[in-house]
Structure 1
Amino acid sequence: MTASLHAFSPSTVRPQAQPIDPARFAPIVEAPRREDARIVNAMSVDVEDYFQVQAFANTVARDRWDEFERRVERNTDRVLQIFADARVAATFFTLGWVAERYPQLIRRIADQGHEVASHGWAHHLVTSQTPEEFRADIRRTRALLEDLSGQSVVGYRAATFSIGRTNLWAFDVLAEEGYRYSSSIFPVHHDLYGMPEAPHGPFRPRAGEPFVEFPMCTVEALGRTIPCSGGGYFRLMPYAAFRWAVKRLHADAERPCIFYFHPWEIDPGQPRVPGLSIKGRFRHYLNLDRMEPRLRRLLGDFRWDRMDRVFGSFLPH
């Protein structure tokens, strides 16, 4: 990018909260891609193991990750089979840590027609990184994923949606490192993440620059902003309510849904990690046994494809 998102050098200063200038963002309005008169939505998977989630960060240190039973390969292979059964292609935002240990898994993802994208190396929150640390992280991850997949890796999703009002400099760094889009902002209030003042549809973080952010999806109902992008919300909400929200998004905003989930969410038999808070246990283990049948139903109820194809006309070339 030719202009920084903040008025200081991102290479030397740990950023502080900045006021949001609405003119900074350039929302993109474009007719959605359709098939059989139905909007094509974006299906995505955040490839990480059950012990790597933010809910466990205070219980499971990164230097202990190799002590835990790994289930990410078998679970991701199960996800690949579910997608094959439904004839759906998706985007797999993958940790470098996982790719380093399971290189053949990355090749299988790519060989089966899916997009390989970056989820950073080891699930560090971007809010915990300096710009130098962030740059090294996303550069290392992209290089490995490209080498293993044979694809050009252009997409990125921050761990726990940890790009927001305090670190908009991250978009500059992503663009400088060769990424073309991010899907890292959730425009809601949440105790772990959220930037509710951000646009609720695709936007360019700096007007006039080509890099694009695709925020997670929400709808307005009963005076509230309701998330409808998957994850724990998908396991919490009745399926009929979630399907209604996606249809509402299509009708009101004429916009594709961006759906995400994790391979561990289809694994109700995963080991239980001790020492979690009540909230942590609730968020992680709720309705795991219902996830796979709900996911299969969702794949049949709507059209789905990879992020880079659903939003291909938005992306810089």
Structure 2
Amino acid sequence: MINKKTFCNAFTVDVEDYFQVSAFEKYIHRDDWERLPCRIEKNMECILALLDQYKIKATFFTLGWIAERYPKLIQELVACGHELASHGYSHIRVTQQNHNSFFDDVYRTKALLEDIGGVEVRGYRAASYSIDRTCLWAHSALCEAGYFYSSSIYPVHHDLYGIPDAPRFVYQPILDHPEFIEIPITTTDFFGYRIPAGGGGYFRFYPYWFSRWAIKRVNEYDKQSALFYFHPWELDPEQPKQTGLNLKTRFRHYLNLHRTESRLRQLFVDFQWDRMDRIFLDNAVISGEHHE
């Protein structure tokens, strides 16, 4: 049994519906979102009930598009004591924007979430972890927009995202603003290889024991808090199935959806969890490392 008193890890949810994922961009146009059956209310209610059962507080990186249409969901998660954070308005990757359009998006979304939720929004996560080497200016834009942290970089090789040599743990990406931090998605280092350990599709792909081993290694070997994420649609094996998908997209999206809930329950038993802001802002020890 893991010593829960040693490290508290951050549990996060990227609040978007199944039809809003980047992998479906070629198949589902944004103009069609309004006409598709939404599953977010049902799935969010399941998540909130699950977290309440295990007495866990989490951070919800929420699309402005979702908050605008389902304000009661936002108010409920805030009332339950969870952290409300921004995922941008409509899941547009940072690599598809310039500085001005990105600033307008994150500033607008922050104001919208704060108006609906009635709390300060301090954190941001880019769609599909899309802050990469080509758009490191995004950190300055976020700081200008009033955010305190980003959780948008995955320090791995991947065909859709990643900065492989980025720091693995909390660092300060802007020299002139050391109060702003980047909190990378968790990886574990094994014989010089970085292995994704932050959740999402990897959590469904790996057997559970591997995810448990990787997070435990981050806590016990690296002496760091881990960060875990997943999406509401990953709890929903009954979601509408899309047609015409290529094999890779179909595999990544639908693999082991029926196992997610049972694995999450085990994860809640094996580790201690809390909100991002409490772990990385309120009580954090930042390395002071700078990376560009």
Interval of TM-score (by shorter of Structure 1 and Structure 2): over 0.9
Q: Deviations over 1:272-307 (max 9, x none)?
A: 011111000000000000000100110111000000
Report if aligned partners of 1:48, 1:95 keep a CA contact under 8 Å in 2: yes
Contact 1:88-1:305 at 8 Å conserved across structures: yes
Q: Aligned equivalents of 2:285 and 2:194: distance in 1?
A: 27
2:208 is equivalent to residue 239 of structure 1: yes
Q: Secondary structure at the match of 2:78?
A: helix
Q: Aligned pair 1:121/2:89, yes or no?
A: yes
Task: Indicate how the Cα distance of structure 1 residues 36 and 303 shifts in structure 2: closer, same or farther if over 3 A, else same.
Answer: closer
Q: 2:140 aligns with which of 172, 196, 200?
A: 172
Mapping for residues 236-275 of structure 1, pairs under 5 Å: 236-275=205-244
Moved over 6 A (4+): none
Deviation track 1:73-132 (CA, whole Å, cap 9, x = no partner) reads 110111000000010000000000000100000000100000000000000000000111
Report the Cα distance in structure 2 between the residues aligned to 1:238 and 1:314, rounded to whole angstroms: 31
Q: Give the match for residue 19 of structure 2.
A: 51
Residue 201 of structure 1 is matched in structure 2 by 169
**Structure 2 stretches lacking a partner, 5+ long:** 287-292
1:107–1:203: structure 2 CA closer, same or farther, 3 Å change rule?
A: same
CA contact (8 A) 1:181 1:315 kept: no
* Cα distance between partner residues in 2 of 1:87 and 1:190: 34
**Matches of 1:208 and 1:176 in 2, distance apart?**
12
How far apart, CA to CA, are the structure 1 residues paired with 2:173 and 2:193? 25
Structure 1 residue 36 displacement after superposition? 5.3
Query: Once the 2 structures are TM-superposed, how far is the Cα of residue 244 of structure 1 from its aligned partner?
Result: 0.4
Contact 1:95/1:122, CA 8 A, preserved across alignment: yes
Q: Contact (CA 8 Å) 2:12, 2:59: kept in 1 or not?
A: yes
In the superposition, the TM-score normalised over structure 1's length comes to 0.87
Q: Distance in 2 between matches of 1:143 and 1:77?
A: 24
Correspondent of 1:106 among 74, 81, 106:
74
Inter-partner Cα distance in structure 2 for 1:108 and 1:315? 31
Report what 1:137 is aligned to: 105
Distance 2:174 2:194 in 1: 25
Supply the distance in 2 between the matched residues of 1:315 and 1:157 (Cα, whole angstroms): 21
The count of corresponding residues between Structure 1 and Structure 2 is: 282
Is the contact between residue 4 and residue 271 of structure 2 (CA under 8 Å) also seen in structure 1? Answer: no
Counterparts of 1:248 and 1:218 in 2: how far apart (Å)? Answer: 10
Rounded to whole Å, the distance in 1 between the matches of 2:225 and 2:285 is 15
| Separation in 1, partners of 2:4, 2:231 | 29
Of the candidates 251, 254, 263, which is equivalent to residue 285 of structure 1?
Answer: 254
Is the alpha carbon distance of 1:315 and 1:102 closer, same or farther for their aligned partners in structure 2, counting shifts above 3 Å? farther
- Equivalent pair of 1:211/1:315 in contact (CA under 8 Å): no
- 1:184 and 2:152 aligned: yes
Bigger Cα displacement from structure 2, 306-315 vs 82-91: 306-315
Structure 1 residue 313 displacement after superposition = 3.1
Question: How much does 1:220 deviate?
Answer: 1.6
- Native 8 Å contact 1:205 1:213 kept in 2: yes
Percent identity (aligned): 52
In 2, Cα distance between equivalents of 1:153 and 1:275:
38
Asked whether 1:313 is paired with 2:283, we answer: yes
Output the aligned Cα RMSD: 1.3
